[in-house]
Structure 1
Amino acid sequence: MSNVSHSKKHNKINSLLIPLAIIIIIVPLIVYEYNFTPSIANEAWFPDANTASDFFLFYKSIIVIGIGFLLMAILLYKQFASKQKPFTNFQLWQIPLAVYAIFVLVSSFTSSYSDVAWNGTYEQFETALVLIAYCILLFYSYYIVKKEDDIQAILRFLLIGIALITFIGLLQVLGLDPIATTVGKYLISANKSKEAIDAMQFTFEKNRVYMTLLNPNYVGVYASMLFPITMGLVILSKDNRKRIFSGILTILLAVAVFGSQSKTGLITLAGTSVLVIISLRKKIFTNKKIAIVIAGAFVVLIAGFFTINAMQNNAYLNSIKNALSVKNQTHTLESIQTKHDYVEIKYNGKTVLLRCELDEEGKIDFSVTDEEGNNIKANYDQTTMTFTLEDESFNSLSVKPVYLSEDGIFGCEVIIDNNTWYFKSKTETEGYSYMNKYGRFDQIKDQDSSLLTNYGQLFTGRGYLWSRTIPLLKDYILVGEGPSTFVYVFPQNDYVGKYNNGFDSQIVTKPHNLYLQMAVETGVISSIAFIVLCLMFIIQSIMTYRKSALDNLIEQTGVLICVAVIGYMVSGLINDSNVGVAPIFWILLGVGFACNRIIKETRERKKKLESL
């Protein structure tokens, strides 16, 4: 006998769920150009640009904030005008949620980059209001979902949203990216002129899936979260049409991950599949048809993986091998530092102090010494006007005096291992400085590094990002620098580290780790609070469903959301938060808590009836 009564007919969708439908279905699909003047352009390590464009984040964030305000208004109205008051029924999990929200606000108000924390910046629009909106989405979902019909509606929203976005992904994997077509570019461009549309270029190669989520990595995050739900519905649904539809979406999610080349997505899909099978083992192994369907689906998915990998010239398998290869890496170029009187270069275990200036008569004054001030002999080639050092340890290093601009800025061109570095010479008012690829002068300093210092290529370069991010945490134990400010805090002038680890052509805007991102932006305590919140849900769900027969939709949904939350948390180890995906997670978390509440209340009522 079921613990929860089933509706015999489909009722109309609760109108209070419509805002959640917009978040789940519409927000991930929003792509439109937003032009802005980036304040970040004032930084020496960023291009000197007057305007920047965003297509995938800004307008998503605006809708999320708008929905957040709407939901808060509804909750406040309910609090003061309804018998069921949302803010009076205290739950223990609301403590870490409140702690997280408080530190988001405190970090934003106290930030050195407060404008960025509230308004966003280059490739970062998860602002303070967006993060607060996430908290509201969780609380609202928990409060508003009260019966099976509400959960049924949420599942419909999810399936519709998955269907729409994975269809785009399918077209992309087939090389038919609708966004990259002339019509697609016209629709997403703010400037409708033919010249602007023709000039629009896309970063990712043909057959690569990014859907409408900015980057292929977020395809993996999206699928990691929703794959368990569609897979579970294939197993649990008694309606053959729904089972077939869910099965198609499960395959499309997997195809999207294959096409995105997201290693994290692939690993998490495999892991959550196992968790779904374990969670639903009683349903699977008592029904031979379901077991056969699952086995057949895995065969199809494996075949699909190798087919798509072949279409992408073995790119996926190669990237997995590279990402998982753990090597203790050493680099011949160990460090460069620009000092007031010289440029310090550590190369092949030795250190040289380089000076290249113009004397009062306009003649080149060039010298190289070791750390003790002893001269190192250099040869000068008049044909190439290049200095080379006699010490064989520096046979891949050469120096050429040059003018760095038409304004007569003098400096030198240093070639190390066939890579060129430009340095501006000391003047009466300034010391040596490095001219980066943007033609801007900056200082190169040694940066703190920890744990993964020599494993920079681990997980496709994430080892380097984490090794430079972890030392920052000591400054943000209580309060972070503010939402969207990671790009400012990360040592962008670690030019040697970025060069050695393949990031020399990039502005690092995120750590590719959800928990490190939170720790830096909103404080270590906020990151811990978020983890505690998620663990409380997972533990609560395990305690709720460990002996459950999973005979009704509420129990089934609760279990599947638990696996989805685990999938999202695991993917968060390798990826960060994104405004196209994160809102759905926070809604699912709220719905998951609601499922647990409904089951608990139903069981308590049943016990009372049985005791009569």
Structure 2
Amino acid sequence: MTNSRNNSNEKSFNFFLPIAFILSIVPIIVRVAAVKLDENAIKIWGVTVKADLFSQRKALLLMIFSVILIITCVIFFKKIFSRKDKLVNYILIACGVFILFTFLSAIFSKYRQVSFWGIFDRAEGFITIACYIILFLYSLYTFKTTNNYKYIITPLLILVFINSFLGLFQYIGQDLIKTSLGASIAGASSNSGIDLLNEKGTIYGTLASYNYMGSFVAIALPILFCYTIFEDDVMYKILSFIGTLLSFWLLFGSTARSGIVGVLGALIFGIIIFYKPLIKRWKGLLIGVVALIILIIGANFASKGSLFKRIPSLASDAFSIFKDTSDFDYTNYTPVKDIKYMDSTTEVVLPNDTLKITYESGNPVFKDSNGEVVPYALNGKVLSTDSEAFKNITFAFGKLDKKSVISDSLLLNINNQPTFLFKLNESKVFHLIDISTKNSFDLQTPETFGFKGKEKLGSSRGYIWSRSLPLIKNTMILGTGPDTFVFDFPQGDLIGKYYAYDTPNIVVDKAHNLYLQIAINYGVIALVGFIAMLLIYIIDSIKLYALKNTFEDKNQMLGAITCLGIIGYLFAGIFNDSVVGVAPIFWIIFGVGIAINFMNRENLRKKSNK
């Protein structure tokens, strides 16, 4: 394959080099930061300070690098920026729409502090979004030669190797980040308040969650796999092959179905683009694919099936989409159907009865739906009953805090799990309060759209999406502000949460969908701008590379495989939102993809003019 240098034999400083450094460093930063919550966040979590291990320092470093890039662009403006064609200009206009309406959404947001600086465990406010766009534009204009692609491949390999190393220990339940050495490196301590929720047997590396590992692999795996096939340099070919194997390890070891969907999406487009060249290399490809399948199956067998453990659920979810669940009522499948207040009585509506609670003579009194007393007696520190209808429900009755003069709180436990907390109000009624914040609130029955009976689809993403889609009608022009999803989601929908997550005491803080996230937080117009950028690029890529008999030079091959990485991320984005550990990788590679497409169009124009 011809190694085209494409007009760049200059020996001056390579302005694309800083991108390689950013790409290698930002995603692997793991450093604890204490984040002071604003008044809106305090109402959600009930504390004033939260610890953040995976987002804040990544975002801070990204800001520092972005300032350096801006200064570099100002000093070397003429050397960096050059004219592009109309197609690139259309993408830049769409990008302008995206960032403008994201900025306006932040400016006019009710949650301005979070909108600009981000929430504690995400750090993806407008400032971070602006940094993404800086990376995107800088990459687009400084990638000017095929040689620069090694500054993409090498960082991707570094990220894969580091995350695979950490992932091995996470997979076997010996997470290095949780060790005393790992904690000291990350600046954490035993009382830092960080709870790493990832379970044994799932890989999250330095990306906070196995879901985000899926988004990363959806970018890296298609690029490394195709690079292994088409690269002629033996060293890079070997390293890319190793990186491909490790990417498969990260894919299945993370158990992220979003990553599998992303890779499958890239595979479909890869077949369209590379069909004819692959046919010519079918023997080598077949040997490689068979060897890969044998290795993966062997690894799955050695791990007693844990690598493939979530694939059946992916298939099950896919089939369940087509089931008719229009008459499904999820409240029939929760231990509590509703909580109501009738005069001085609190009614806990159960599937087969209703437990009525009143406050009499300094103690709670319990009755069934017929008004008969349910005999609750003190058993240790809890109130329990032998009544068959209510034996799974116990209570803890006492003072809510040190300020309480009398016993004023009632904690309802279901199967010994703390579930609902009540406090006596001024009317001597046990009213529902938030377990974390201790603030009084009423149950919500939010508007929903779609996914009825499919709330548990995609690890309960169906629940989130059904409650999120109606929010879009309020964000057609401007969104609620970057990173503010947690404030507008109906957190008071406790019964819905109970069905979806088997507990009502959970905070839903993200949309688990890149496009919903943008539509709600940045506004539908910003989403249109984002999608327009991508459609222009992908359609252009298909025109340039699809179903070619062969690729004439390296630029064409690199353009094609870069497009597959972008497509993988976008498919994974159906199930994952943007996050500061992965999004910079996407925006950099997106800018590179546009730059390579421009170079290839210029080459075609020159050939057609000869």
TM-score by length of 1: 0.86
1:27 aligns with 2:21: no
- Paired letter, 1:108: A
1:379 aligns with 2:378: no
Partner of 2:400: 405
Partner of 1:588: 589
State the 1:208 CA deviation. Answer: 2.3
Partner of 2:140: 142
1:284 aligns with 2:305: no
Contact 2:272–2:546 (CA under 8 A) maintained in structure 1:
no
CA distance in structure 2 between the partners assigned to 1:151 and 1:383 by the alignment:
72
SS of corresponding position for 1:456: coil
State the 1:232 CA deviation. Answer: 0.4
Contact 2:105–2:521 (CA under 8 A) maintained in structure 1:
yes
CA distance in structure 2 between the partners assigned to 1:398 and 1:170 by the alignment:
42
CA distance in structure 2 between the partners assigned to 1:223 and 1:593 by the alignment:
21
Partner of 1:235: 229
SS of corresponding position for 2:51: strand
Contact 1:340–1:432 (CA under 8 A) maintained in structure 2:
no
Pairs within 5 Å for 1:33-432:
33-39=32-38, 43-46=42-45, 48-79=46-77, 84-85=81-82, 91-175=89-173, 177-190=175-188, 202-304=196-298, 306-307=300-301, 309-310=303-304, 312=306, 315-317=309-311, 320=314, 326=320, 328=325, 330-332=330-332, 333-337=336-340, 343=346, 345-348=348-351, 354=356, 356-358=358-360, 362=361, 376-381=370-375, 383=377, 402-405=397-400, 407=404, 408-410=406-408, 412=410, 414=412, 420-428=419-427
Contact 1:324–1:459 (CA under 8 A) maintained in structure 2:
no
State the 1:587 CA deviation. Answer: 0.9
Partner of 1:469: 468
CA distance in structure 2 between the partners assigned to 1:18 and 1:35 by the alignment:
32
Deviations 1:378-419 (A, max 9, x none): 2242645989999x9x76787979444362253555566876
Contact 2:215–2:259 (CA under 8 A) maintained in structure 1:
yes
CA distance in structure 2 between the partners assigned to 1:340 and 1:123 by the alignment:
41
Partner of 1:372: none
State the 1:550 CA deviation. Answer: 1.4
1:484 aligns with 2:460: no
CA distance in structure 1 between the partners assigned to 2:174 and 2:378 by the alignment:
50
CA distance in structure 2 between the partners assigned to 1:298 and 1:13 by the alignment:
42
Partner of 1:536: 536
SS of corresponding position for 1:247: helix
State the 1:424 CA deviation. Answer: 2.2
CA distance in structure 1 between the partners assigned to 2:47 and 2:556 by the alignment:
53
SS of corresponding position for 2:551: coil
State the 1:535 CA deviation. Answer: 1.4
- Paired letter, 1:331: T
Contact 2:393–2:412 (CA under 8 A) maintained in structure 1:
yes
Deviations 1:511-554 (A, max 9, x none): 11111111111112212221221111110111122364313221
- Paired letter, 1:186: S
State the 1:488 CA deviation. Answer: 1.4
Any stretches of 5+ residues in structure 2 without a counterpart? Answer: none
Indicate how the Cα distance of structure 1 residues 170 and 550 shifts in structure 2: closer, same or farther if over 3 A, else same: farther
- Paired letter, 2:133: C
State the 1:283 CA deviation. Answer: 2.5
Partner of 2:440: 442
Q: Which has the higher contact order (CA 8 A, sep 6+)?
A: 2
CA distance in structure 2 between the partners assigned to 1:115 and 1:340 by the alignment:
41
Contact 1:224–1:268 (CA under 8 A) maintained in structure 2:
yes
SS of corresponding position for 1:93: helix
- Paired letter, 1:405: L
Indicate how the Cα distance of structure 1 residues 505 and 293 shifts in structure 2: closer, same or farther if over 3 A, else same: farther
Indicate how the Cα distance of structure 1 residues 496 and 530 shifts in structure 2: closer, same or farther if over 3 A, else same: same
State the 1:168 CA deviation. Answer: 2.8
Contact 1:486–1:517 (CA under 8 A) maintained in structure 2:
yes
Greater shift in the superposed pair: 589-598 or 326-335: 326-335
CA distance in structure 2 between the partners assigned to 1:183 and 1:415 by the alignment:
38
State the 1:573 CA deviation. Answer: 0.5
State the 1:294 CA deviation. Answer: 2.8
CA distance in structure 1 between the partners assigned to 2:80 and 2:42 by the alignment:
54
Greater shift in the superposed pair: 226-235 or 401-410: 401-410
Contact 1:233–1:243 (CA under 8 A) maintained in structure 2:
yes
Deviations 1:230-263 (A, max 9, x none): 1101110122332221111111011011111111
Any stretches of 5+ residues in structure 1 without a counterpart? Answer: 370-374
CA distance in structure 2 between the partners assigned to 1:382 and 1:9 by the alignment:
83
Indicate how the Cα distance of structure 1 residues 282 and 40 shifts in structure 2: closer, same or farther if over 3 A, else same: farther
- Paired letter, 1:607: S
CA distance in structure 2 between the partners assigned to 1:505 and 1:400 by the alignment:
17
Indicate how the Cα distance of structure 1 residues 234 and 11 shifts in structure 2: closer, same or farther if over 3 A, else same: farther
Contact 2:255–2:307 (CA under 8 A) maintained in structure 1:
no
CA distance in structure 1 between the partners assigned to 2:65 and 2:41 by the alignment:
33
Aligned residues: 590
CA distance in structure 1 between the partners assigned to 2:224 and 2:203 by the alignment:
20
Indicate how the Cα distance of structure 1 residues 339 and 321 shifts in structure 2: closer, same or farther if over 3 A, else same: farther
Contact 2:454–2:463 (CA under 8 A) maintained in structure 1:
yes
State the 1:73 CA deviation. Answer: 3.2
CA distance in structure 1 between the partners assigned to 2:393 and 2:153 by the alignment:
64
Deviations 1:275-328 (A, max 9, x none): 334422323221244223332243235315523652749743565466557374
State the 1:140 CA deviation. Answer: 1.5
Indicate how the Cα distance of structure 1 residues 182 and 551 shifts in structure 2: closer, same or farther if over 3 A, else same: farther
SS of corresponding position for 2:607: helix
Contact 1:325–1:458 (CA under 8 A) maintained in structure 2:
no
SS of corresponding position for 2:90: coil
Greater shift in the superposed pair: 543-552 or 586-595: 543-552
Give the % identical residues: 26
CA distance in structure 2 between the partners assigned to 1:320 and 1:416 by the alignment:
30
SS of corresponding position for 2:304: helix
TM-score by length of 2: 0.86
CA distance in structure 2 between the partners assigned to 1:349 and 1:115 by the alignment:
47
Indicate how the Cα distance of structure 1 residues 13 and 607 shifts in structure 2: closer, same or farther if over 3 A, else same: same
Contact 2:166–2:205 (CA under 8 A) maintained in structure 1:
yes
Deviations 1:453-485 (A, max 9, x none): 321111111111111111211111111111111
Contact 1:448–1:468 (CA under 8 A) maintained in structure 2:
yes
Deviations 1:549-571 (A, max 9, x none): 31322111111111111111110
- Paired letter, 1:102: L
Indicate how the Cα distance of structure 1 residues 179 and 128 shifts in structure 2: closer, same or farther if over 3 A, else same: same
State the 1:121 CA deviation. Answer: 2.1
Contact 1:337–1:446 (CA under 8 A) maintained in structure 2:
no
SS of corresponding position for 2:445: coil
Partner of 1:564: 565
Contact 1:108–1:482 (CA under 8 A) maintained in structure 2:
yes
SS of corresponding position for 1:302: helix
Partner of 1:515: 515
